[in-house]
Structure 1
Amino acid sequence: MVVLAAWVVVWRFTDGVDTLARPVRESTPLFDRLSDFRDAVLASRDTNPVVQATYAVGQWCVDATDWLSRMVSVPDFPRPVPQVGWLGVLAAATWIGYAVANLRIAVLVAASFATFGVLGYWSDAMDLLVITFVAVLLAVLIGLPLAVYYGTGGRVGVGLMTSLLDLLQTMPTFVYLGPIVLFFGIGSSAAVVCTLAYALPPIIRIAGHGIRNVSPTTIEATDSSGQTARQRLLKVQLPMARATIVVGLNQTIMAALSMATLAAYVDGPGLGKPVLRALTRNDVGGAFVPGMLIVLMAVMLDRTTTAASRRAEIAARGGDDPRLRRILLGGGLVGVLVAVWLSRQQLWAAEFPESDLGGRIADGVDSAFGWITSTFDGLTGAVKDTVSTVLLNPLQSLLADSPWYVTGLALLAIAYVVGRRRGLVSAAICLTLIVLLDLWHSAMLTLTMVLVATLLVMVLALVFGVWMARSRAVDLVLRPVLDAGQTIPPFVYLIPVLALFDPTRFTAIVASVVYAAPVAIKLVADGISAVSPSTLEASRSTGCTTWQEIFKVQLPMARNSLVLATNQGLLYVLSMVVIGGLVGAGALGYDVVLGFSRSEEWGKGAAAGLTIVLLGVLIDRVCRAAADVPKDTTGARTRTLLRSKVPVAGSPKSGLI
């Protein structure tokens, strides 16, 4: 509070001085050097071995996705339709759903694929699945060996690998696109490579964690039996970590789908393209239908991988009749072969019948949102104005309109208070580099939106997280909703928010809150639920009221979970605020988008992307440092509370009469 008060006093006398604000289209020597670097890379495609190698990888990705697309989604000339038509693809996908999971998943897969076609987006949906499939396949082939090395404690490079994974998971999704387009080209190559880069860390981290946490007793038993390291890995560690590895695969698939959708901005094929076209026209209905199909695809893939991870356990418990299952699989395979043959011979089975259902739904959504916006325009405007007046504008004035050195010193002081020396060092390095990148003012505007959105996220997280932790019924209702919210790609969140609030910075903030709230709420709920029941019982025996129990016992003891929720909320918000540059958020997000849109602005876009990465690293490191600062304070505070005479509710001292 002392730092903040001193900052406000200084700002009152120095408002608007040395803010390092720059005109939107102004270039700097640094931006020019970055653009020159881009030009040099493009000019050396035929001579530079590194660039030749990356473009060769990009060409392989193009060839692989093109071949798969001609198989299932686009005409394979001179054949006027794909090699396998919609009926064969639907039948094969349904059979695979039953083979890896169960009949319920097979029905879900069949219904999902049929919906893609009925709504008129069969080809786009198949293209998105192709990009996701290729990226996930590469992520598994590359990630599993690295996960084994990571989980078994390899001696060389593990620290470097951890730092690289931290950087990849801290970096907002939009920032991946710039350097990848430069070295791999646009289209399918960029879509696959950026999707791979974003989807790789989850499987390495989660699968490695599962391998590393196999019971030490079991490992000792295998050692005493004389097993080699290879036998121990193949016969003990991997089988016992199977469930965790499948969770990592699930997260990799979700990450890949999310990034493959966003890759539409660099001409990546799939459902992201119609969403992006509609967003640029402010066509809510046109964006809604493909956006909901992306959600449906995410739910289908999530449920399929989750059910597949439980398949072996169910079979081991005798949950299925093996003989009946083999008969159904055999009969289903015959049906698949017949469907594939028909799809190659009959036009009606090769090309999905045309339908105007998607157009009618889009028109209905436009009408509905038109009514909502006209009816609630005053309310949404009041909410936007209130948040802007009370939070956004004052914080922006403080961060962006103070002299840059005043803001920098204040942020360093806050980093030290929150994270001590570790937080101070990380903040000093990141802020110095942000100044050198010549986008300080835009960075502070972005940080303003991030902080306001994170504050709103944490308010929701505390309210609903505490409610879920204290009520089993609320948890049962809300947790599936939050799980579904986490499967929705971030791009999709812009659609309804854009309709309600029009293209403004507030639109990006609201979309960020909706996107980041599920993970923060779940982390807070899980942290509070983990507080020892005996501690709660002891607090109740001293006469604690419900509010005292929450604020003086549960929240202090769940401090690390709260810090983690804040950390993840900040990073999710930062990622979404950048995507909000597409809908009027301005600041660094706009600079990145401008760099993609105009070749002469590439240097500024690259500098903006690097600045966003530095903001993410700064936020992540300070939050991590905060989680490690004196951990015994919360315990001491709680023990003091339990030893003290806490006023009973209704007594004159309690103030709760």
Structure 2
Amino acid sequence: MSTTAGTAVRAQEKEETDRSGDLGGGIPRWVLVIAVVVAWVALWSVFRGQDTLVLRGRDSTPLHDDLTGFRDAVLASRDTNPVIGLTTAIAEGFRNVFDFLQRLVSVPAFPRPVPQVGWLGVTALAAWVALAVANWRISLLVTGTFLAYGLLGFWSDSIDLLLVTGLAVFVTVLIGMPLAVAVGTSRRAKAVITPVLDAMQTMPTFVYLIPVVLFFGIGVSGAVVCTLVYALPPLIRIGGYGISAVSTTTIEATDSTGQTSWQRLLKVQLPMARKTIIVGLNQTTMAALSMAIIASYVNGPGLGKPVLQGLIRNDVGSSLVPGLLIVLTAIMLDRTTTAASERADLAARGHGLTGRTRQVLLAVVAVVALVCVYLSRTVLDLAEFPETGWGTSLANGLDSFVGSVVGALDGPGEVFKNAVTYGLLNPMQSLLAESPWWLAALAIALVAAALGGLRALLPAVVCLAGIWFFDLWNDAMVTLNMVLVATILVMLIAIVFGVWMARSHRVDVTLRPLLDAGQTIPAFVYLIPVLALFGSTRFTAIVAALVYAAPAAIKLVADGVKAVPETTLEASRSTGTTSWQEITQVQLPMARGSLVLAANQGLLYVLAMVVIGGLVGAGALGYDVVLGFSRSEEWGKGAAAGLTIVLLGIMLDRIGQRAAARTGEGVKVPLRRPSSAVAG
């Protein structure tokens, strides 16, 4: 390495050390972590198997029984408890609105044997809306997507999915925009709201179902509420950021004209933050759609039901077809909202149809759409999509294709599975789960202190105390092990592909759209092919989490490596360094902040798959949550498991954020960036 390049890296390291306030008196953090792990292994060899707090099978503790008793008391007080009365009324309102919309466009509106508006009218109206808010290309995409719903035999389920998503997004906007305004205009409101959003985004989606079902019941009301809770944080975060990012110069200029704060908000801040707010709406819509399959666990309508039924039967083909329609829907909504956010700017620069030409085109298409609506109300064949059998044929073809792929990958897949299981999974689980609880807690706290200092140590201690309190310590350690193993694999993949993308423009252009598309796919869809390959095991959950988390981590690593100054690279090349030396001695060291941030986000993405993994043999906390959800007598244990997952997530998030901040890259990245618009 050249003197200039080496000096740059050493200067960065010195600056980070000075800023970080290491508890080890300037000792590098990786040395402290290794020292803690070595001491931990030494003590583990002495105390192994003692005080591990194992809770066998379906055993429960008095705390779990008390939580179940709380659930029973809430249910018994439905007629007298005002809170239950309110949530019941809200649930009934959601059901009534959804039933009206469903009879309007997706199911027979008795005594009519078909909906009020048939498939032709719905497709034509959707195409016109896409043309009005975006452009003709998006209109064609929407038309093709709606035709795919019918041709593949899932018209009603697909429209129901759009209705639930639309209803949840509508309510999200009603609740989220006032909160986004508060976050964007008030530091005090931001300080109060942000920790709540952190907890909501750290909490795995399945955990929402336990309290939602208790207060809102199952069916469409439960589906809308759990979707609403999951989709709310992105709109508040991104919308609030857009409002707060309006330049102070502009705000001061409006103040000089005597405008009130309300006028300033309506006439200046919201219009200038419009594009950012629409980006927030984009991510909120993607988040709502990603709940499609999970909502089916509370009898939510939509495409999640056939996906879930196929998974239960282990029928890969029949679950992949609706899964692909969910992906197609995600792409359609992502591209539509993205194009809508860009249309005004493009029109201002003279791109696309504008002015009278656009108005005439919209009017003509509106007339055609109204004619299609009329025909769909009067002609039976244009109201109910005809059976084609294409869905069954595609399912059979996909089943055969997946079977062939599984057969071809069976040998290498088994080798990879054994290598990860015996090389990482089993040893780490033995250390975490077979250590006395006090030893594991002490070691984790010391690792947190080494990586993130006191500001990581304090939340780690609080979260560890909470995990111990909820009486599922051993299951928490098993879950933590799977999360850490999956994150290690994510980072290995992220470093390889991220560096490759950063060093090759052609690779970046090729892979980035694939990564963007990967982030639009709901988490459950990843489970289908992985389940076919590895069966129902904990390794299946790890691989599914790995695939789900990799796109975000790869892009973060690529962007971090790409940000290394070109002058530094040229200085190192002038001394004759090889490509390997340039990567390992210059680019990766100078991109350490991005690497830590990628690891943090990888952890959170992996943690989001914990409960889903519990459905396919992962066990531990994921299984406890599913058990508590499916069996009323286990509700308390499931609730404790859900809270334990939340505490694990908060602890890992805080450690990762503080570690990233101490390497100069402490930027908060919202959990689950599902769309290219946001990732860009």
TM-score, length of structure 1 as denominator length: 0.94
Distance 1:62 1:528 in 2: 50
Counterpart among 243, 258, 261 of residue 229 in structure 1: 261
Residue 370 (1) aligns with residue 390 (2): no
Deviations 1:442-500 (CA, angstroms, capped at 9, x unpaired):
11111111000000111111111111122211111111000000000001110010011
The equivalent of 1:32 in structure 2 is 65
The AA in structure 2 aligned to 1:175 is: V
Contact 2:292 2:303 in 1 (8 A): no
Residue by residue, what CA displacement relative to the aligned partner does 1:238-260 show, whole Å, maximum 9, x if unpaired?
22212111110100000000123
Aligned pair 1:198/2:230, yes or no?
yes
Paired with 1:363 and 1:316, the residues of 2 have a C-alpha distance of 49
- Alignment correspondent of 2:191: 159
Amino acid at match of 2:262: R
Q: CA deviation at 1:550?
A: 2.6
Q: Secondary structure at the match of 2:108?
A: coil
Give the unaligned 5+ runs of structure 2: 1-33, 666-680
Kept in 2, the 8 Å contact 1:192–1:260? The answer is: no
2:352 maps to 1:329: no
- Give the letter aligned to residue 216 of structure 1: T
Deviation at 1:553, TM superposition (A): 3.0
C-alpha distance in structure 2 between counterparts of 1:336 and 1:365, whole Å: 35
Q: Which has the higher mean CA deviation after the structures are superposed, 130-139 or 526-535?
A: 526-535
The residue identity in structure 2 corresponding to 1:142 is I
CA distance, structure 1, for counterparts of residue 88 and residue 119 of structure 2 = 33
- Rounded to whole Å, the distance in 1 between the matches of 2:92 and 2:601 is 36
Aligned counterparts of 2:205 and 2:412: Cα–Cα separation in 1: 32
The residue aligned with 2:554 is 521
Contact 2:561 2:587 in 1 (8 A): yes
Instruction: Specify whether residues 398 and 101 from structure 1 end up closer, same or farther in structure 2 by C-alpha distance, changes over 3 A only.
Output: same
Residue 56 (structure 2) pairs with residue 16 (structure 1): no
Query: Could you tell me which residue of structure 2 aligns to residue 646 of structure 1?
Result: none
> 1:521-540 deviations in whole A, cap 9, x for unaligned?
11111222223333434444
1:265-290 Cα deviation digits (max 9, x unpaired): 11111000111111111111111000
Give the superposition deviation at 1:154: 5.2
1:563-622 CA distance string (max 9 Å, x none): 221111101101113211111111111111111111111111111101100110010111
Q: Distance in 2 between matches of 1:298 and 1:359?
A: 22
Amino acid at match of 1:445: V
Q: Which residue of 1 aligns with 2:252?
A: 220
User: 1:211 maps to what in 2?
Assistant: 243
Cα drift, residue 399 of structure 1? 0.6
Cross-structure match for 2:24:
none
Specify the code of the residue in structure 1 equivalent to 2:421. S
Partner-residue secondary structure (3-state), 2:116? coil
- Give the drift of 1:52: 0.7
Q: What is the alpha-carbon distance in structure 2 between the residues aligned to residue 135 and residue 630 of structure 1? A: 39
Secondary structure of residue in 2 paired with 1:583: coil
Range moving further from structure 2, 427-436 or 361-370: 361-370
Work out the CA distance in 2 between the residues paired with 1:253 and 1:263.
Answer: 15
Q: Write out aligned runs for 1:229-308 (5 A).
A: 229-308=261-340
In structure 1, the partner of 2:120 is 87
Give 2:220's aligned residue.
188
Measure how far apart 1:227 and its partner are.
3.0
| Residue in structure 2 matching 1:509, options 521, 542, 547 | 542
Name the count of aligned residue pairs.
Answer: 632
Secondary structure at the counterpart of residue 475 of structure 2? helix
> For the residues of structure 2 that align with 1:60 and 1:264, how far apart are their CA atoms?
20
- Post-superposition Cα deviations, 1:284-329, rounded to whole Å, max 9, x if no partner, equal 1111000000000000000001111111111111222422221211
Cα drift, residue 237 of structure 1? 1.6
Q: Which residue does the alignment assign to 1:412?
A: 445
Q: Distance in 1 between matches of 2:662 and 2:216?
A: 43
| From 31, 34, 37, the counterpart of 1:4 | 37
1:70 equivalenced with 2:122 (yes/no): no
1:401 maps to a residue whose letter is E
Q: Which amino acid aligns with 2:364?
A: G
Tell me which moved more, 267-276 or 547-556: 547-556
Q: Is the 8 A contact 2:204 2:610 kept in 1?
A: no
| Residue of structure 1 in register with 2:142 after alignment | 109
Deviation sequence 1:488-522 (CA, Å, 0-9, x none): 00011100100111111000000001000001111
Alignment of 1:308-327 (within 5 A): 308-319=340-351, 320-327=353-360
Counterpart-to-counterpart distance in 2, 1:277 and 1:323: 50
CA distance in 1, matches of 2:99, 2:291: 19
For residue 415 of structure 2, the aligned residue among 369, 373, 382 is 382
Q: How far apart are the structure 2 equivalents of 1:539 and 1:246?
A: 43
- Tell me the alpha carbon deviations over residues 398-419 of structure 1, each in whole angstroms, 9 at most, x when there is no partner: 1111111111111111111111
Deviates more, 1:526-535 or 1:540-549: 540-549
- Decide whether aligned partners of structure 1 residues 141 and 568 sit closer, same or farther in structure 2, where only a CA change above 3 A counts: same
Answer with 539-548 or 31-40: which moved more.
539-548
Quote the residue 1:123 is aligned against. Answer: 156
Cα 1:430–1:154 change in 2 (3 A) is: closer
Q: 1:133 aligns with which of 140, 146, 166?
A: 166
The Cα offsets for residues 119-149 of structure 1, whole Å up to 9 and x where unpaired, read as 0000000110000000101111111111111
Residue 49 of structure 1 is aligned with which of 82, 90, 99? Answer: 82
The question of whether the paired residues in 1 share the 8 Å contact of 2:109 and 2:116 is answered with: yes
- Corresponding residue of 2:502: 469
Report if the CA contact (8 A) 1:413-1:424 is conserved: yes
Question: With structure 2 as the length reference, what TM-score do the two structures score?
Answer: 0.91
Query: Is the CA contact 1:167–1:617 (under 8 Å) kept in the aligned structure 2?
Result: yes
Q: Which moved more, 1:130-139 or 1:157-166?
A: 157-166
Letter in 2 for 1:191: A
Letter of the 1:170 partner, please give it: T
- The aligned runs of 1:414-493 (5 Å cut-off) are 414-493=447-526
Q: Is the 8 A contact 2:596 2:659 kept in 1?
A: yes
CA distance in 1, matches of 2:469, 2:150: 51
2:407 alignment partner AA:
S
8 Å Cα contact 1:128-1:261 kept in structure 2: no
Alignment partner of 1:376: what SS?
helix
**Structure 1 residue 261: deviation in Å?**
3.0
What one-letter code is carried by the residue in structure 2 that aligns with 1:316?
A
Question: Could you tell me how far apart the structure 2 residues matched to 1:560 and 1:243 are?
Answer: 29
- Measure the CA separation in 2 of the matches of 1:630 and 1:301: 37
Q: What's the counterpart of residue 654 of structure 2? A: 621
Structure 1 unaligned blocks of 5 or more = 633-657
- How much has 1:395 moved relative to structure 2? 0.6
Q: 1:231 deviation in Å?
A: 2.6
Shift, 1:543, TM fit = 5.0
